[in-house]
């Protein structure tokens, strides 16, 4: 239907006008997550990102945070949301400084985003062409041109990740018991690496004349792919270790923390109460013997109920607004990740490390592999 229009982007801009407020609010939910994920390599190095050896005393402490599903969310997905979202709902760029800052950061992340397989979108050209026809957008067009000139080349990130994944895989190979508390590190490492591999694929044969071609070639990319595979093999080989750890976490921490959170709520309607009580009951009933007996776990129903609870508590004038109970969201996000360690490790590995798109566009990597020095 969209292609029936002579100027499909113009039509999309018109259609999304009434949704600007809702889309902008959704995009601004990334203003804490995206900048943290988009740090340069020198800040990764300063923070010793993904390193287990940098803080030996905390080696056995569980890796967790308030936004666990966002820690391994693909960067390109967020960039696609930001760039296309603010393109379609552009008026907020002139009225909201936070929107403008997020948009500029997205534009500096590279030159292209993937639409599907090897179909790419030249983000600066498309955005500039759309804004060129809108009166009073000269300043935004200047921002686009500036962002294009400062679009980063990610060579230093890939260099850091090669060393970080090498260290992580060696430590976990020696001490597979650490896969329990540090499972999140594995999925973060895979997701970060996949982001960089796909970034390189998008840009390798589309380098503008104003850029240095050497910045878009990596003769060491095979090493990064090797350590990605090694981490995947480790977590699959020791899946029972991961399951045993997270089962105890679910039953002995998540269930108790969730129960305490529910008890401290001022308001709890009946339907929401039934769902949350069922979460606590399901988690409290777990025992280590289930892992030892080789039982197959399935927490899909619990995760669907969590989505249902989010829907109930996010509508206008909800009796139990989720935004007023951030602790509930934090503990349930953590619980969701822990349940995935019980029944969906394969799917999570697919989500964070899938490189199947290389089959259709293998040529750039064949060239880079040929440059790899013999080890």
pLDDT for 375 equals 57
Residue 66: which of 340, 314, 341, 334 has the closest Cα? 334
CB-CB contact of 292 with 328 (8 Å) = no
pLDDT for 345 equals 96
Please say if the pLDDT value at position 309 is more than 60: yes
Residue 340: which of 69, 150, 108 has the closest Cα? 69
Please say if the pLDDT value at position 374 is more than 70: no
Q: Which residues pair with 155 in a beta bridge?
A: none
Please say if the pLDDT value at position 142 is more than 50: yes
Share of the chain above pLDDT 70, in %: 97
pLDDT for 362 equals 72
User: Would you give the end-to-end CA distance of the chain in angstroms?
Assistant: 53
Element (H, E) at 333: helix 326-343
Please say if the pLDDT value at position 1 is more than 60: no
Give the C-alpha separation, 331 to 312, whole Å: 17
Flag the least confident range among 324-338, 341-355, 357-371: 357-371
Give the C-alpha separation, 285 to 281, whole Å: 6
Give, in degrees to the nearest 5, the angle at Cα 198 between 183 and 192.
25
CB-CB contact of 10 with 134 (8 Å) = no
Strands (DSSP E) found in the chain: 112-116, 119-122
Rg (CA), the chain: 23
Q: Which residues pair with 112 in a beta bridge?
A: 122
CA dihedral sign of residues 160, 161, 167, 168: positive
Q: In the Cβ-directed half-sphere of 125, how many Cα atoms lie within 13 Å?
A: 7
CB-CB contact of 24 with 99 (8 Å) = yes
Give the C-alpha separation, 201 to 272, whole Å: 46
Concatenating the DSSP letter of every residue in 37-64 gives: HT--HHHHHHHTTT-SSS-GGGTTSPP-
Please say if the pLDDT value at position 18 is more than 50: yes
Element (H, E) at 21: helix 20-28
Find how far residue 182's CA is from the centre of its chain.
17
Give the C-alpha separation, 268 to 279, whole Å: 15
Beta carbons within 10 angstroms of residue 196's beta carbon: 21
Q: Calculate mean pLDDT across residues 310-336.
A: 93
pTM, two decimal places: 0.93
Please say if the pLDDT value at position 211 is more than 80: no
pLDDT range class, residue 97, cuts 50, 70, 90: very high
pLDDT for 3 equals 58
Q: How long, in residues, is the chain?
A: 375
Concatenating the DSSP letter of every residue in 212-253 gives: -GGGG--TTHHHHHHHHHHHHHHHHHTHHHHHHHHHHHIIII
Q: What is the pLDDT of residues 42-64, one digit of tens each?
A: 999 999 999 999 999 999 999 99
Give, in degrees to the nearest 5, the angle at Cα 93 between 90 and 97.
160
Give, in degrees to the nearest 5, the angle at Cα 284 between 278 and 289.
130
Residue 192: which of 218, 230, 215, 161 has the closest Cα? 161
């Amino acid at each position: 239907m969209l292609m029936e229009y002579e100027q499909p982007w113009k039509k999309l801009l018109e259609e999304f006008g009434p949704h600007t407020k809702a889309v902008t609010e959704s995009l601004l939910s990334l203003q804490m997550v995206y900048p943290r994920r988009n740090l340069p390599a020198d800040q990764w190095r300063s923070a010793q990102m993904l390193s287990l050896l940098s803080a030996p005393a905390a080696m056995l402490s569980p890796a967790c945070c308030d936004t666990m599903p966002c820690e391994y969310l693909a960067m390109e997905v967020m960039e696609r949301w930001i760039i296309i979202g603010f393109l379609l709902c552009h008026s907020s760029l002139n009225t909201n400084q936070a929107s403008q800052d997020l948009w500029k950061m997205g534009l500096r992340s590279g030159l292209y985003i993937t639409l599907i397989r090897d179909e790419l979108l030249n983000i600066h050209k498309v955005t500039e062409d759309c804004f060129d026809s809108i009166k009073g957008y000269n300043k935004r067009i200047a921002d686009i041109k500036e962002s294009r000139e400062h679009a980063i080349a990610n060579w230093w990130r890939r260099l850091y990740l090669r060393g970080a994944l090498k260290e992580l895989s060696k430590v976990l190979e020696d001490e597979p018991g650490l896969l329990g508390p540090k499972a999140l590190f594995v999925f973060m490492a895979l997701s970060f690496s996949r982001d960089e591999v796909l970034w390189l694929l998008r840009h390798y044969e589309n380098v503008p004349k104003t850029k240095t071609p050497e910045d878009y070639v990596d003769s060491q990319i095979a090493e990064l792919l090797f350590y990605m595979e090694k981490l995947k093999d480790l977590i699959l080989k020791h899946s029972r270790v991961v399951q045993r750890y997270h089962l105890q976490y679910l039953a002995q921490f998540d269930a108790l923390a969730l129960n305490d959170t529910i008890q401290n709520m001022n308001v709890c309607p009946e339907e929401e109460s039934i769902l949350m009580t069922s979460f606590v009951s399901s988690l409290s009933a777990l025992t280590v013997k289930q892992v030892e007996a080789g039982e197959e776990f399935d927490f899909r129903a619990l995760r669907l109920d969590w989505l249902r609870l989010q829907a109930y508590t996010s509508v206008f004038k909800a009796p139990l607004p989720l935004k007023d109970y951030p602790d509930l969201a934090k503990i349930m996000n953590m619980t969701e990740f822990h349940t995935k360690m019980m029944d969906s490790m394969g799917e999570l590995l697919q989500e964070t490390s899938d490189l199947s798109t290389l089959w259709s566009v293998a040529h750039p990597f064949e060239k880079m592999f040929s440059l790899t020095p013999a080890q």
